[in-house]
């Protein structure tokens, strides 16, 4: 299976399956001299980890990351990157392959089972194998290294909608995102969401969500006007996350409802002599190149396909059957998609920062 590598100069290759012995990645192209300890990566993995609340799957994976290569202790006694490939590994410890034995020849509706079978004629049915979102732990790990390259850039994500229940943006408080289990920027809404998600979970169902990721402090100039547009690469990276069905930048789909006057981000000169945009409908990207404004990306995650409500499907022999997907599943995968979205934003920006320096210097 190819296409497991992502990025041009900051390149990430991930490997491993949901129920294999381990998952891992190789980050190649990271500049030398970047201070890097496992703990720097672990803090982001903690955010994505399972089994931490009743709203995420009860699979208990400690997700302890180990750095196998690409770092060395410098003369000052600090562990830093050497510029060689950084290899990371996380052991899988809570695999229960038997949870999946009764679906080994059945195609779960909404999953990748049918398309994998059609394409490869062989399928690791244990937890979805390579199509499982277990792989995204390595994106979060690689994203933690990318953040270190993005000195001075802040990347934050939040859950902004569950089902048809959106946050009240007038109450947005970034500080509250990490203080509730739903990564909700509005604590009052978080309480209502929790009650709603309990109902969804008890009904054996699931629900979709919208996540917003914002990067601040991005210098103007990252990206390119034609085939490496920053918004194009960002959309591709975010769309590669499991269960993502829609991506928008800035005003996004809402731009269809705006007039030219409303949508134009007017420009003035600030007291420092630099350009000041009066609005940010462009989401920080104009002509594929960052403008210096915050980069704003939203994406929609579909409801978890594994539900306890019977659904119609077929098996490998072509029989029509009804299927209930047992096992441990998130009622709303959008929650854990927040740190994954942040990581993909970091990876795209790190790659574009290095590409910008390679062409334009600075
Ligand atoms: C963090 C995260 C956890 C996920 N966990 C599950 C899960 O427990 N059950 C499930 O049916 N899908 C889960 N998914 C979604 C599937 O991985 C995904 O729907 C499947 O691979 C098919 O790919 P597609 O939805 O992108 O077409 C998860 C997605 C994410 C982002």
Question: Nearest to residue 37, comparing CAs of 155, 145, 150?
Answer: 145
With the most atoms of ligand 1 within 8 angstroms of its CB, the residue from 55, 116, 305 to mutate is 305
pLDDT, position 328: 67
Ligand 1 site, residue 134, Cβ cutoff 6 A: no
Ligand 1 site, residue 233, Cβ cutoff 6 A: no
Q: What is the pTM of this model?
A: 0.96
Report whether 298 contacts 244 (CB < 8 A).
no
pLDDT, position 102: 83
Residues 6+ apart with CB under 8 A from 296: 212, 213, 214, 249, 250, 280, 283, 284
The interaxial angle of helices 136-149 and 38-48, nearest 10 deg, is 130
pLDDT, position 99: 67
Is 162 in a helix, a strand, or coil?
A: strand
Ligand 1 site, residue 112, Cβ cutoff 6 A: yes
Atom of ligand 1 nearest to the CA of 132: 17
pLDDT, position 97: 62
Q: Nearest residue CA, atom 20 of ligand 1?
A: 111
pLDDT, position 183: 96
**Mean pLDDT by 10-residue block, N- to C-terminus, for the chain (362 residues)?**
93 95 97 98 91 74 94 98 98 78 90 95 89 96 98 97 97 94 95 95 95 98 97 98 98 98 97 96 98 98 94 96 83 96 98 98 86
First to last CA, the chain: 38
With the most atoms of ligand 1 within 8 angstroms of its CB, the residue from 131, 138, 239, 242 to mutate is 242
pLDDT, position 126: 87
Residues 6+ apart with CB under 8 A from 240: 6, 344
Ligand 1 site, residue 19, Cβ cutoff 6 A: no
């Amino acid at each position: 299976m190819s296409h497991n590598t992502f990025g041009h100069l900051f390149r990430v290759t991930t490997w491993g399956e949901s129920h294999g012995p381990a998952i891992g990645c190789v980050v190649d192209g990271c500049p030398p001299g970047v201070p890097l300890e496992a703990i720097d990566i672990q803090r982001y993995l903690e955010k994505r980890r399972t089994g931490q609340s009743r709203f995420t799957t009860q699979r208990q994976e400690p997700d302890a990351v180990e750095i196998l290569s690409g770092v060395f202790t410098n003369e000052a006694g600090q562990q830093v990157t050497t510029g060689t490939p950084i290899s990371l590994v996380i052991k899988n410890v809570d695999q229960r392959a038997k949870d999946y034995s009764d679906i080994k020849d059945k195609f779960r509706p909404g999953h990748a089972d049918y398309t994998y079978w059609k394409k490869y004629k062989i399928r690791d049915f244990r937890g979805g194998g390579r199509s499982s979102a277990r792989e995204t732990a390595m994106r979060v790990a690689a994203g933690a290294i990318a953040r270190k390259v993005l000195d001075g850039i802040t990347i934050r994500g939040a859950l902004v909608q569950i089902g048809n229940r959106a946050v009240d943006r007038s109450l947005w408080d970034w500080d509250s995102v990490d203080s509730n289990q739903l990564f909700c920027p509005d604590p009052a809404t978080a309480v209502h969401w929790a009650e709603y998600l309990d109902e969804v979970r008890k009904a054996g169902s699931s629900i979709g969500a919208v996540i917003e990721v914002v990067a601040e402090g991005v210098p103007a100039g990252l990206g390119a006007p034609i085939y490496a547009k920053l918004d194009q690469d960002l959309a591709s990276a975010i769309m590669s996350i499991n269960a993502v069905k829609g991506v928008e930048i800035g005003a996004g789909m809402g731009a269809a409802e705006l007039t030219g006057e409303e949508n134009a981000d007017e420009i003035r000169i600030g007291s420092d002599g630099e350009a000041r945009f009066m609005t940010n409908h462009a989401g920080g990207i104009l002509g594929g190149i960052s403008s210096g404004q915050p980069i704003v990306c939203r994406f929609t995650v579909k409801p978890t396909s594994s539900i306890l409500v019977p659904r119609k499907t077929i098996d490998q022999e072509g029989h029509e059957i009804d299927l209930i997907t047992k096992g441990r599943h998130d009622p709303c995968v959008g929650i854990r998609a927040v740190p994954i979205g942040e990581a993909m934003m970091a990876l795209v920006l790190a790659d574009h920062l290095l590409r910008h320096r390679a062409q334009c210097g600075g």
